[in-house]
Amino acid sequence: MLTRMDHVALHVDDVASALRFYVEVLGFDKVYDSPGTGGQAIAYVQLGNASMIELTTRPGGEPMSGYHLGLECDDLTATCKRLSDAGLELMIAPKPTTPRGEHQKGWKRAVFKGPHGEMIEIKGP
């Protein structure tokens, strides 16, 4: 029986710059980074005790498509300002969202475009 999700991989243009972005801008912790097998850089980041994100690249790259990262925050207005100030493009302005549980009642969501094409949904009060 499966017990937990270990990680999700994101193919990025530049692992070192993606690692800086996830740690310095989004506040993830660096778990591991390495030049990787055959020179293909790889890094793992984690927010709290959740599953990890593997940051890696592939020759020729792969376009980001069909998914987004969903992150929670404690102050949506302040978080949106911080991400905008960091140069992220706001794709969907804050708007009400359907709660998935009592703790999310009254929350809003916003979506930003990350520096490697990833869509980043932020939800919170």
Residues 108 and 124: beta-carbon distance below 8 Å: yes
Asked if 82 and 119 sit in the same domain, the reply is yes
Q: What's 63-84 look like in SS3?
A: CCCCCCEEEECCCHHHHHHHHH
Task: Flag whether the pTM goes above 0.85.
Answer: no
What are phi and psi for residue 40, nearest 5 degrees? -85, 105
**Does residue 62 lie within any of the structural domains?**
no
What DSSP assignment string belongs to the chain?
------EEEEE-S-HHHHHHIIIIIT-PEEEEEE--GGG--EEEEESTTS-EEEEE--TT-----S--EEEE-S-HHHHHHHHHHTTPEEEEEEEE---SSGGGTT-EEEEEE-TTS-EEEEEE-
CATH value at residue 51: 3.10.180.10
Task: Provide the domain limits for residue 77.
Answer: 69-124
- pLDDT, tens digit (0-9, with 9 covering 90-100), for 7-39: 888 888 889 999 999 999 999 999 999 887 677
Q: Domain check: are 105 and 80 in the same one? A: yes
The mean pLDDT value of the chain amounts to 88
What pLDDT is stored for residue 63 in this prediction?
62
Same domain for 73 and 50?
no
Radius of gyration of the chain (CA): 15
Number of domains in the chain: 2
Instruction: Give the pLDDT of residue 95.
Output: 95
Same domain, 73 and 104: yes
